[in-house]
A and B are shown apart, each in its own frame.
Chain A
């Protein structure tokens, strides 16, 4: 999918605590979480972000806790894609699982500046800085992850997995719930 928006650029090691501070984790409502997205690193982010915008990070983006609230907040805030030099592993898998497009591309992360207009093709991994005309190619996802993304995330994938089972999935054994 092709998306276009302005870049919000941050440094290395953007952690999940600044993406969504723990004081807001008493809810899992996406809209409430989005209202505090990036609050402790960029208090004006929520005011400024528009649908389609892109977050650009340095190394180890999304490090820290496993809170899926972080990619949920980013996705629900309207951000279309996160481009970074590298991603922390739990944030990486959470993003793929919930369908937040992420692209690993050190060259783009270096060259793009806050406010630049950026066009991203999440399927091909092509990133274009419309201000400078420079284009970049993100690292492709392994085939298994492409299948997950194509299925619409992990839940849709799991739904496919259990579809073949006929009738109730509960087999009445002691390990089962009933």
Chain B
């Protein structure tokens, strides 16, 4: 019996020829990550272990991206804890405001995670990096603390579920729509404890941005990791960024899967995930009339330059609906600069949108766009739980950037095709 890519990477990192699903192993790590919410607890725990240095100062990344730029005094203290720790232990990969970005866009862009790596991050969306053919999973602060001291982490080797995507994607359909559709099909615990292996011709035709978006949301189906194979697109992304060697792994043809699910992409419309569970996804044509107060385009899921380009395409020459606040958050400084150079930021500001410095802010109801009681937002973020973007009686509808941009113009949830025939200038009622 062959092995899956996930098994092979884990086996290589615990010094074995092969591992089986269900095995409890201790694996060596190539990167340990934390943010300003999770790292302060990890640092407190680390100090109790009784070591006087970290396992490898170049394999730790500290990214203050959640409540930053510091939204209040307590948040400033949290970042200070990280900054002081980074200085004390010589950790170079601490990213200061003005250089920082949302961790799951920043870390791969900086070449800090490469194919074949084993990575943990004290953030649930650490599964994003599976798009590079790496094993990458979210853990808590205590795991991060132990890993910073020991350079290893315990894992239960997961079963893998294979998702095979085929067919041509419709216009305005992207990685976000594929993953929302998939979670709608299998449920929020449909891949509990499992590796989600995304494959098929439709995946091969996706950009890296769309691939990151899909792996990013593996956790929303309960998955341990999302993973994809390395191809030309991956290498074109990785090679200019890599500062060390990496190894490419691939699933054997006779690898064992818990399940194989085939998905015909040609039938998938833009998807909207209704409150308060990600699995409540529906095709755009079945959404009905849902008026919105806010639209958010950004986050570790959809804050990349490709996402901003889609938004700009929809917003060019149009105005945000008078009843709507549109907030765009380029995910990193590099993406911000690129958007600036391409003239995208001008399109956004002309349209009447707010453009924010990179931050997770509104995605988790932290700052930079929280919702009041009874308000409703469409967002390119990854969660629509009760109170996720602010007041417990507010609502979040998840979508891709095309729908989020079009909805901001329409004042209700809709797609770019609903704007056709409508004069640029927006719906003034």
Q: Which residues of A contact B (CB under 8 A)?
A: 13, 15, 17-18, 21-23, 25-28, 40-41, 59-60, 63-69, 71-72, 86, 88-90, 93-94, 97-98, 142, 144-145, 148, 153-155, 157-159, 161-163, 168-170, 175-178
- The answer to whether A28 and B56 touch across the interface, beta carbons within 8 angstroms, is no
Beyond A60-B189, A97-B143, A170-B52, whether A177 also contacts B124 by CB under 8 A is no
**Contact present for B387 and A18 (CB under 8 Å):** yes
Distance between Cα atoms of A170 and B343 in the complex (Å):
49
Q: Chain B residues near A94: list those with CB within 8 A.
A: 139-143
**Cβ A159 vs Cβ B48 within 8 A:** yes
Mask of B146-170 contacts with A, CB within 8 angstroms, 1/0: 1001100010100000000000000
**Known A17-B385, A65-B364, A176-B56; 13 more pairs at CB < 8 Å:** A17-B387, A22-B364, A60-B188, A60-B189, A66-B139, A89-B222, A142-B24, A155-B49, A155-B145, A155-B146, A162-B49, A169-B52, A178-B53
Of the candidates B51, B88, B143, B192, the one whose C-beta lies within 8 Å of that of A86 is B192
The count of residues in chain B whose C-beta lies closer than 8 Å to any C-beta of chain A is 65
Known contacts A17-B386, A40-B392, A88-B189; A175 and B57 CB within 8 A of each other: yes
In the bound complex, do residue A28 and residue B50 qualify as a contact, i.e. CB atoms below 8 Å apart? no
The 8 Å CB contact of A66, one of B75, B140, B366, is B140
Q: Is the CB of A68 within 8 A of B141?
A: yes
Q: Which residues of B are found within 8 Å of A161, using beta-carbon distances?
A: 150
CB distance from B35 to the nearest CB of A (A): 10
Contact A17 B41 (CB under 8 A): no
Select from chain A the residue with minimum beta-carbon distance to B34: A66
| A13-B49 in contact given A60-B222, A144-B154, A177-B57 (Cβ < 8 Å) | no
* Cα-based distance from A149 to B55 in the complex (angstroms): 24
Interface contact A68-B52, CB-CB below 8 Å? no
Nearest first, the 9 A-B pairs at minimum CB distance are A94-B140, A170-B53, A26-B74, A97-B142, A68-B140, A22-B364, A60-B189, A177-B90, A177-B89
Near A by CB (< 8 A), chain B positions 247-278 give 277
Cβ-based interface call for B67 (8 A): yes
Residues of chain B with a CB closer than 8 A to A25's CB: 37, 66-67, 364, 366
Task: Tell me whether B139 and A93 are in contact (CB under 8 A).
Answer: yes
Within 8 A of A (CB), among B51-86: 51-59, 66-67, 71-72, 74-75, 78
Q: Considering the complex, give the chain A residue whose CB is closest to the CB of B66.
A: A25
25 A-B residue pairs with CB within 8 Å: A15-B385, A17-B383, A18-B385, A21-B392, A22-B365, A23-B365, A23-B370, A25-B364, A26-B71, A26-B75, A66-B121, A66-B140, A67-B140, A86-B189, A88-B192, A90-B138, A90-B140, A94-B139, A142-B24, A154-B142, A155-B45, A155-B49, A158-B149, A169-B53, A175-B57
| Interfacial residues, chain B to chain A (CB-CB below 8 A) | 24, 37-38, 40-41, 44-45, 48-59, 66-67, 71-72, 74-75, 78, 88-91, 121-124, 126, 138-143, 145-146, 149-150, 154, 156, 188-189, 192-193, 219, 222, 224, 277, 364-366, 370, 383, 385-388, 392
Cα A66 to Cα B122 in complex, Å, equals: 6
Chain A residues lying within 8 Å of B370, measured Cβ to Cβ, are 23
Given the known A-B contacts A15-B385, A18-B385, A18-B386, are A162 and B51 also in contact in the complex, defined by CB atoms under 8 Å?
Answer: yes
User: Known: A60-B188, A66-B122, A175-B57. Is A28-B139 also a contact (CB below 8 A)?
Assistant: no
A66 and B188 contact, CB distance less than 8 A: no
Which residues does chain B contribute within 8 Å of A142, judged by CB atoms? 24, 156
Across the interface, name the chain A residue whose C-beta is closest to B73: A26
* Minimum CB–CB distance for A144 against chain B, Å: 4
Q: How far is the CB of B45 from chain A (nearest CB, A)?
A: 5
Q: Which residues of A contact B53 (CB under 8 A)?
A: 168-170, 176-178
A17 nearest CB across to chain B (Å): 4
List A contacts of B67 (CB < 8 A): 25-26
Q: Total A-B residue pairs with C-beta atoms closer than 8 Å? A: 172
Chain A residues contacting B123 (CB-CB under 8 Å) are 65-66
**A19 vs chain B, min Cβ distance (A):** 10
Q: Once the chains are docked, how many angstroms separate the CA of A65 from the CA of B140?
A: 9
Contact between A59 and B189 (Cβ–Cβ < 8 Å)? Answer: yes
Cα separation A116 to B123 with both chains bound (whole Å): 35
A41 & B386 in contact (Cβ 8 Å cutoff): yes
Identify which of A68, A72, A169, A175 contacts B58 (C-beta below 8 A).
Answer: A175
Given A28-B78, A41-B386, A67-B37: A158 in contact with B72 (beta carbons within 8 A): no
Residues of A within 8 A of B138 (CB): 66, 90
Which one, A28, A64, A145, contacts B124 given CB within 8 A?
Answer: A64
Q: Return A174 CB to nearest CB of chain B, in Å.
A: 8
A21 to chain B: which residues have CB within 8 Å?
365, 387, 392
Quick check: A89 and B192 within 8 Å, CB to CB?
yes
Contacts of B50 in A (CB 8 A): 159, 162-163
Cβ contacts under 8 Å, A168 to chain B: 52-53
Partner among A27, A63, A148, A176 whose Cβ is within 8 Å of the Cβ of B57: A176
Beta-carbon contact of B124 and A60 below 8 Å: no
* B57 smallest CB distance to A (angstroms): 5
Whether A64 touches B37, Cβ cut-off 8 Å, given contacts A93-B143, A178-B53, is: no
B143 cross-chain contacts in A, Cβ below 8 A: 93-94, 97, 154
* Cβ contact within 8 Å between A169 and B365: no
Partner of A97, one of B66, B126, B140: B140
State A153–B72 Cα separation when bound (angstroms).
Answer: 32
Nearest A residue (CB) for B190: A60
Docked Cα-Cα span, A11 to B344, in Å, equals 44
